[in-house]
Amino acid sequence: MIDPALELAALRAYAAYAHRIDDGDIRAWAELFTEDGVMRVRGNDLVGHDGLYTAMATARKDGVRSLGRHLIMNVEVHRADETGADAEADFLHVMAGSGGAYIEMMGRADKG
Question: 13-22, pLDDT tens digit by residue?
Answer: 999 999 999 9
Q: Is 83 helix (H, G, I), strand (E, B) or coil?
A: coil
pLDDT value at position 56?
Answer: 86
**20, 93 Cβ separation under 8 angstroms:** no
Angle at 4 between CA 82 and CA 39, to 5 degrees: 60
> Collapsing DSSP states into helix, strand and coil, what is residue 75?
strand
pLDDT recorded at residue 112: 46
- What pLDDT digit, counting tens, does each position of 69-95 carry? 999 999 999 998 888 889 999 999 999
Predicted pLDDT at 83:
85
pLDDT band at 28 (very low <50, low <70, confident <90, very high): very high
Any idea what DSSP says for residue 31? T
Cite the DSSP H helix spans in the chain.
Answer: 4-22, 26-30, 48-60
pLDDT for res 15: 96
**Hey, how many other C-beta atoms are within 10 angstroms of the C-beta on 106?**
11
CB 47 within 8 A of CB 66: no
Averaged over 40-46, what is the pLDDT? 84
